[in-house]
Chains A and B, each alone.
Chain A
Amino acid sequence: MQLKSVLGLVLATTLAVPALAQERGGTLNFARYDGSRLIDPIYADRNPDIWMVGSLFDTLLRGSADGNSVEPGLAEAFSVSEDGKTVSLTLREGVLFADGAPMTGDDIVFSLDRARNPDLSPWAGLLGSIDTVSADGNAITIALKDPDPTILSMLATFNTAIVSKAAFETAAGETDQDKSAAIFASTSAGVGSGPFYLCGFEQGSSMDFCANENYWRNGADGKPLPYLEAVHFEIIPDDATRILSLQAGEVDAAEFIPFSRVAELEADSNINMQLYPSTRIIYSPINTRDTRADGSPNPLADARVRQALNYATNKDALIGVVLHGAGQPMSSPLMAKATQFSTDLSPLYAFDMEKAKALVTEAGLEQGTEVTLTTLAGSADDSTIFAALQQMWAPLGIELVVEQVDGATRGAKNRSGEFDIHTYGWVNDVNDPSQVVGWLGYTPTAKAVGTGWENAEFNTLFEEAANEMDPEARKVKFAKMQELYANAAPLLFMYETPFAVALRTAVEGYVQTPLGNNIFDEATVSR
């Protein structure tokens, strides 16, 4: 017994030696394309905010590395009752907020009640199944109205991150949002328990994260994470300037590298060009309504024409010219490959011009039919996509014309249906397919991403899957939805793209997750 523990100690010491060499300290300088405005779990509604929530706040559960299951987070244990209507969690002992105040069950109840309040959070709908949240000491109980297969994933999602109740009670301001803004502006350490706390903020210019010395997770050396002392963010909206800043050594990392620059940076021995797998898909909604907004008949209402467009689109060629090879064709019509329950239907509409021509002939498409592609003004990618599609679709007798608008206009057109086809993209916020499938295919949510496509069987399957607790049965339903959607082709299925981040070789351990979250927990920088 004694020998065993001595041996254990020796072993532990031996193992710990190389780990102790873990580089600690220093500041990582990170160049971003856009700044955060308010990093609060429930008010974060833009990617530059959402993707930083995990650095300042913690969730009860954490997504696993492969993204397909959840692991303990602030809750060291969790279970779902037999009937699927109660989730029990045990809050980890001794968790502190960054200012040293202890986290209690009250904070959990406060945070989750806040997160599911539809008057406050734009994300409240994702937590619609929750009936009550209660705490008894460290025991947290979430009672559900109906069984919800997504609830555990939701507890690992940014909008359910835990905030300090005390911080909100003492903050200035009348409404919850005012208080949140006041806390953010004060760069206070007392609101979150993530690996960092906000310690500097210059609107539109820069932002600083300082290490939370009370963070509960340990690094490879047995001491608390993070390894870094601080992260300094510079906002450099211009792509070329952001890269120059990295090349000049002013920053250690630069995100959103345009794909046209990837090869050049890969060749640079001082730079580690990373392409992180993502859940980002680039696709183009096709208006499926019988008539266009101006009342004229819509040639794209015929599914065969939409299928023809997909067959006539050479995805590999598009990936070549737009992404310079850094991407892959969509393999599921409804989600990125990395999403749970994605069915691999690849090759999805493999390039086949003969088939495409046969389909348009069958559909009786008139030669010289004019179709408008709405693109983002100023987007080099969109311009290339237009030029490529114009050529690829010409053999079908389609005359593709372009209409360039800005993002807000494109959004308005998507809503009103005043478009034929427009470019679009998506990144999952939640590690569950229901969000993206609800967006792309389920009619009541957003008219199937504005296409007007409506399929009763699909909608029923989606509603059933929302209450299906058996993962296998749920997977079958999602598989069927993907099959239906692929055949109906309400989209031009294009490709998936990675997150391109260029780092100096001195930087290690930085990760951008498939959901886009920037993770600095285990990042190091050697000087």
Chain B
Amino acid sequence: MSSLNYIFKRLLMMVPTFFLVMVIIFLLVRMLPGDPAIAMAGDRASDADIQAIRERLGLTEPMLVQFWLFLSNTVQGDLGRSILMRTDVMDVIVDRLPVTVFLTVYSVILSLLIAGPLAFVAALNRGRWPDAVIRTIFQIGLSMPVFYIGLVLLTFLAAQLRLFPVGGYGDTFSEKLYHLFLPSVTVALYTSAIIMRNLRSAIIEVLDAEYVQFARAKGLPSRLILGRHVLRNALISTVTLLGLSIGNLMSGTLVTETVFAVPGMGRLMLEAIFARDYPLIQGLTLTFAVLVSFVFLMTDVFQSRLDPRMRLQ
């Protein structure tokens, strides 16, 4: 009950957040030089054509009127019509959203699968060679740009060894798992490096805590200690970190989706920006904002489950 109440309160608090996001994005796209009418009509169009398009798009209206229209339409679930795609922004987003969500969730799972076990190995072997090797490898992973890792993986695993497809998305669930493996690994490598470092130090800290020493002294089997006491407590900060890095993961899709030819929202965002497709940029940004806020909320809820000291208020 209290948990539901909390979620409801948090949702209410998101309203001003979204309003601010909308103000910022509305102003930002309009501050970019070059306007959608020129991008749409092409460099060869006459000034009269451009003016006609500007009027049709409602860009000749005063800013406040434009913003009011954007706000009221959005509240009614109408994000406008994409200039680039010549169709409703909502339709385009509904089409692309699952792809990006799939890619992001897949990356999170992969980064946990990569970081979790290795963090344990590193923490339990603190200061010895396995720790050093793992930390060095992840340090390298952290310092390489995403697109570069992507191309290296593509070149070796896809083009030369032909273990994975180079591009595309796939139709069935298992096909998607297969097609999106390399892009997800690419995104996951960076995140897993951050998680691994954090989880390792969290585990080390917990291992030194008095209650763990006490559990050991009691003679509890080490598997039980690690599972029930160490992992659970070390995970708290990791969950926070994972929640906070969702923004990173999402922005990573801009590059990854382009490199791997995945038809998701990230690639669409790039195209929309280049085309100055105001409605599409606004719609996509808003969607990203909703996703990130949702993840933050989930993080808080999940955290309270892990740690009863953090009561939901």
Contact A37 B85 (CB under 8 A): yes
- A355 close to chain B: CB less than 8 A: no
Give chain A nearest CB distance to B147 CB in angstroms.
8
Contact A46 B38 (CB under 8 A): no
Closest-by-CB residue of B relative to A408 is: B34
- Tell me which of B43, B155, B260, B274 has the highest count of chain A C-beta atoms within 10 A of its own C-beta: B43
Q: A234-B261, A244-B154, A415-B38 are in contact. Are A408 and B267 (CB under 8 A)?
A: no
Task: Give the residues in chain A near B155, CB-CB below 8 Å.
Answer: 244
- B263 close to chain A: CB less than 8 A: yes
Contact B38 A241 (CB under 8 A): no
Q: How far is the CA of A398 from the CA of B276 in the complex (A)?
A: 34
Tally B residues with Cβ within 8 Å of A. 44
Contact pick for A45, options B42, B268, B276, CB 8 Å: B42
Q: Which residues of A407-425 have CB atoms within 8 Å of chain B's CB atoms?
A: 407-415
Q: Which residues of B27-73 have CB atoms within 8 Å of chain A's CB atoms?
A: 32-36, 38-39, 41-47, 49
Contact pick for B34, options A206, A234, A247, A412, CB 8 Å: A412
Contact B263 A205 (CB under 8 A): yes
Give chain A nearest CB distance to B48 CB in angstroms.
10
Q: How far is the CA of A82 from the CA of B35 in the complex (A)?
A: 48
- A240 close to chain B: CB less than 8 A: yes
Contact B263 A38 (CB under 8 A): no
Give chain A nearest CB distance to B35 CB in angstroms.
7
- B159 close to chain A: CB less than 8 A: yes
- A135 close to chain B: CB less than 8 A: no
Contact pick for B274, options A31, A37, A406, A415, CB 8 Å: A406
Which of B163-171, B209-217, B220-228, B289-297 lies at the binding interface? B163-171
- B305 close to chain A: CB less than 8 A: no
Closest-by-CB residue of B relative to A429 is: B44
Contact A407 B86 (CB under 8 A): no
Q: How far is the CA of A379 from the CA of B280 in the complex (A)?
A: 24
Q: How far is the CA of A454 from the CA of B276 in the complex (A)?
A: 31
Q: A122-B49, A247-B159 are in contact. Are A241 and B259 (CB under 8 A)?
A: yes
Q: How far is the CA of A282 from the CA of B268 in the complex (A)?
A: 28
Contact B268 A408 (CB under 8 A): no
- B110 close to chain A: CB less than 8 A: no
Q: How far is the CA of A160 from the CA of B118 in the complex (A)?
A: 64
Task: Give the residues in chain A near B47, CB-CB below 8 Å.
Answer: 415
- Counting chain A residues whose Cβ lies within 8 A of the other chain, the interface size class is 35 or more
- B232 close to chain A: CB less than 8 A: no
Contact A407 B162 (CB under 8 A): no
Contact A181 B86 (CB under 8 A): yes
Closest-by-CB residue of A relative to B87 is: A181
- B158 close to chain A: CB less than 8 A: yes
Q: How far is the CA of A446 from the CA of B46 in the complex (A)?
A: 7
Q: How far is the CA of A181 from the CA of B33 in the complex (A)?
A: 30
Q: A248-B158, A408-B275, A409-B33 are in contact. Are A241 and B166 (CB under 8 A)?
A: yes
Q: How far is the CA of A181 from the CA of B49 in the complex (A)?
A: 21
- B180 close to chain A: CB less than 8 A: no
Q: How far is the CA of A393 from the CA of B271 in the complex (A)?
A: 35
Closest-by-CB residue of B relative to A418 is: B33
Contact B34 A122 (CB under 8 A): no
Q: How far is the CA of A472 from the CA of B155 in the complex (A)?
A: 55
Q: Using a CB–CB distance below 8 Å, which chain A residues touch chain B? A: 31, 37-38, 45-46, 122, 177, 181, 202-206, 234-238, 240-242, 244-245, 247-250, 405-415, 439, 445-446
19 further A-B contacts with Cβ under 8 Å, apart from A248-B158, A409-B33, are: A38-B86, A45-B41, A122-B42, A122-B45, A204-B268, A236-B261, A237-B258, A237-B261, A241-B167, A244-B154, A245-B159, A405-B33, A405-B34, A406-B34, A408-B35, A408-B276, A412-B34, A413-B33, A414-B43
Could you show 24 A-B contacts with beta carbons less than 8 Å apart? A37-B84, A122-B41, A122-B42, A203-B85, A204-B263, A205-B263, A234-B167, A237-B267, A240-B151, A240-B259, A242-B261, A248-B162, A405-B34, A408-B33, A408-B34, A408-B38, A408-B39, A408-B274, A408-B275, A409-B32, A410-B34, A411-B39, A412-B35, A439-B44
